[in-house]
Chains A and B, each alone.
Chain A
């Protein structure tokens, strides 16, 4: 019995050996897109955090030609508005060329997905920035997660007594194709001001019924979504 099985096994292998050598097997990802960038040079250490995510988290990037590269270890620097990836093959942290990207997404430490897109903003200092999309639609809600290096009291945490610190200075924007970007504050008043005057009462009612008290980004996004879902027309 065992001999027969061995015979069949050998026959099978012989048959495969006859067929396979004719065809070349290309290595996995042999023609994959190459990521372009420069070596990441660590920032000076001050109080606060210059990064959106402290450690590298899994994410994917979308290149300008539409190619999506996944399974990357990503870190977004809010301070320099740049995306860093860890290339484990060469053990190097690389800042990806901003202009080679259309956007990226990553999951934070809590597993929440964040979707960033490279957007051109023509305000006081026209430039390309990574904006996070908070709510999509005809009028979309975006946040520019800027961190600034600002002066601060000399005395701080032990070992970090310097008069500079990384401080969050997030900017929230509304966007539509016709008008472009417009800054918006995270408050109930600013949300209601974007509703039609005839609908403002209804918007208040929706927020009250759902017990939404706008205090931070999370509650603002929730309020924004609720208002939209309930058919309140928003404009700016």
Chain B
């Protein structure tokens, strides 16, 4: 009996150990050295068994604080993206981390960013976490990059040919990354594949961004059970979701098919309306908990000179308003094209009528069977029930641009000029398990919902949803009088593999060392990489 149990135990142990040693992500960035205000280009190769369709790329500063986070859509276990490095980033080491919400590993890459206003700080010493264990990559000797010369002049047109042997071509999984980017021999970024704690079980493999958090009792600060959490993406066709918390007070929402920056409003309330609640989002995890400790490094005067030159060239770019990236239009948002509260019985556009100063006047003059009254400064709203031929006893669901409004004072002062449209549903509506005694949905002019203030029970977010595609802008004409201050000469993160790849490029006005490189993933999961150096004089 004991033997059997021990066998089960050992089997379980081996399974768990195996799970912790899973293959990591491969993370490539265009450079190792950046200036604040620039754009960091990213290519991620995910493990083949990665179930999630979204990859998280986070940028942490040397103190472990999350600076920026993007969600990239994976296609064939590959993702491309970018992170805009804010002008305000201070000089120092930064960590780019790649994970998914279910992954057991994280790939971390260290970069150096210098502030474009202050340059390198007075001290020559920076903290840099020691990272050991190179990114999984193998140099494939059969790969050849031909046709390049070792030295180019500024604004010279160049050409390179990459030959992919036939037997190798069949071993490539997905697309290739090809780039021509500057290299700084004085500084080499380090990669690390480390174990991480997955946020959710791997079964949660749906594609989308998960927003999670906790509802607590505002007085006791204990997790609150049976709290109602609403998520709204305000719009003329708002997206609305709700969640009822369990014993641990946790809530989860999944946002799918949303690209770029989107507004999100989260709010909570007690179902029985007895307790005041507090909503808080799950904080970012501490990246240093899974990394080795940092170490001090001194930078040479040459390195400082290189940084100063890069800062200077970027400042020129900013003066001339040169953008590195051209954004692609967002894919059309696929969602239920019907309002979550159904087809309204009545739609009123107050602007088609005489100007009225507040909502009470609007309800009296334009909204029959909608009683908005103020007694002792307390507004109340009642709606006539079409189905029962009497007024509802309870207050209807009041929405402002799709966001549930708890306190009617928010809409009290809204007059004709502030309201674009009012939808009224005069029946007992249901959305899942939620029942509403009718719905009064107000849509403000210009989609403004600033009347709703943030509080313990309401959070407004500006969420960076799935990042849309972007590509490098074309270089200026050879004879153009505009300065060409491109750092990255070529970046093709999704190049279809072919027997021969022809790469055309043009050097910029920046002198220095560059590399032509190619990377990809083979069907067995290993990453291959080939590079060739040249100089622009």
Inter-chain contact B198/A23, CB cutoff 8 Å: yes
B109: CB under 8 A from chain A?
Answer: no
Inter-chain contact B254/A31, CB cutoff 8 Å: yes
A65: CB under 8 A from chain B?
Answer: yes
The digit string for A4-21, where 1 denotes a CB below 8 A from any CB of B, is 110011011001000100
Inter-chain contact A15/B430, CB cutoff 8 Å: no
**In the complex, what residue of chain B is closest to A67 when comparing beta carbons?**
B336
Inter-chain contact A89/B342, CB cutoff 8 Å: no
Inter-chain contact B430/A30, CB cutoff 8 Å: no
B387: CB under 8 A from chain A?
Answer: yes
Stretch with Cβ within 8 A of A (4 or more), from B8-16, B92-100, B488-496:
B8-16
B433: CB under 8 A from chain A?
Answer: yes
Inter-chain contact B432/A34, CB cutoff 8 Å: yes
Inter-chain contact A39/B428, CB cutoff 8 Å: yes
B320: CB under 8 A from chain A?
Answer: no
Inter-chain contacts of B2 with A (CB < 8 A): 1, 4-5, 8
Stretch with Cβ within 8 A of B (4 or more), from A91-99, A127-135, A213-221, A227-235:
A91-99
Inter-chain contact B388/A41, CB cutoff 8 Å: yes
Inter-chain contacts of B200 with A (CB < 8 A): 23-26
Given A24-B201, A31-B206, A99-B338, A41 contacting B387 (CB threshold 8 A): yes
Inter-chain contact A36/B340, CB cutoff 8 Å: yes
Given A22-B198, A23-B197, A8 contacting B430 (CB threshold 8 A): no
A87 to B252, CA, bound (A): 23
Given A36-B430, A99-B343, A100-B336, A31 contacting B198 (CB threshold 8 A): no
Interface of B is mostly: mixed
A104 to B338, CA, bound (A): 19
Given A23-B198, A25-B201, A100 contacting B338 (CB threshold 8 A): yes
The digit string for B196-229, where 1 denotes a CB below 8 A from any CB of A, is 0111110010100000100000000000000000
Given A5-B5, A92-B430, A39 contacting B197 (CB threshold 8 A): no
A99 to B336, CA, bound (A): 11
Inter-chain contacts of A39 with B (CB < 8 A): 387, 427-428, 430, 435
Given A5-B2, A92-B435, A94-B430, A15 contacting B16 (CB threshold 8 A): yes
Inter-chain contact B430/A38, CB cutoff 8 Å: yes
Inter-chain contact A89/B433, CB cutoff 8 Å: yes
Inter-chain contact B199/A5, CB cutoff 8 Å: no
Scoring A4, A11, A30, A99 by chain B CB atoms within 10 A of each residue's CB, the highest score goes to: A30
A153: CB under 8 A from chain B?
Answer: no
B357: CB under 8 A from chain A?
Answer: no
Inter-chain contacts of A65 with B (CB < 8 A): 334, 336
A91 to B274, CA, bound (A): 23
A26 to B212, CA, bound (A): 11
Inter-chain contact B5/A30, CB cutoff 8 Å: no
A35 to B387, CA, bound (A): 20
Inter-chain contacts of B430 with A (CB < 8 A): 35-39, 87, 92, 94
The digit string for A76-99, where 1 denotes a CB below 8 A from any CB of B, is 000000000001011010100101
A100 to B388, CA, bound (A): 24
B1: CB under 8 A from chain A?
Answer: yes
Partner of B432, one of A5, A35, A64, A97: A35
B294: CB under 8 A from chain A?
Answer: no
A27: CB under 8 A from chain B?
Answer: yes
A128 to B253, CA, bound (A): 33
B534: CB under 8 A from chain A?
Answer: no
B250: CB under 8 A from chain A?
Answer: yes
The digit string for B245-256, where 1 denotes a CB below 8 A from any CB of A, is 010001011100
**In the complex, what residue of chain A is closest to B2 when comparing beta carbons?**
A4
B6: CB under 8 A from chain A?
Answer: yes
A22 to B201, CA, bound (A): 9
B421: CB under 8 A from chain A?
Answer: no
Inter-chain contact B5/A90, CB cutoff 8 Å: no
Inter-chain contact B246/A12, CB cutoff 8 Å: no
B155: CB under 8 A from chain A?
Answer: no
B residues 393-450 touching A (CB-CB < 8 Å): 427-435
A35 to B340, CA, bound (A): 9
Partner of A26, one of B12, B252, B431, B432: B252
Partner of B252, one of A1, A12, A19, A31: A31
B residues 1-38 touching A (CB-CB < 8 Å): 1-2, 5-6, 8-9, 12-13, 16
Inter-chain contacts of A89 with B (CB < 8 A): 433
Inter-chain contacts of B429 with A (CB < 8 A): 36-38
Inter-chain contact A26/B201, CB cutoff 8 Å: yes
Inter-chain contact B16/A19, CB cutoff 8 Å: yes
Inter-chain contact B433/A30, CB cutoff 8 Å: no
**In the complex, what residue of chain B is closest to A96 when comparing beta carbons?**
B430
Instruction: Provide 25 A-B residue pairs closer than 8 Å at the C-beta atoms, listed in order of the A residue.
Output: A5-B1, A5-B2, A8-B2, A8-B6, A15-B12, A15-B16, A23-B197, A23-B198, A24-B201, A26-B201, A31-B253, A34-B431, A34-B434, A35-B430, A36-B341, A38-B342, A38-B430, A39-B435, A41-B387, A64-B336, A65-B336, A87-B430, A97-B338, A97-B343, A100-B336
Please give the residue numbers on chain B whose beta carbons come within 8 Å of chain A beta carbons, in ascending order: 1-2, 5-6, 8-9, 12-13, 16, 197-201, 204, 206, 212, 241-243, 246, 250, 252-254, 334, 336, 338, 340-343, 387-388, 427-435
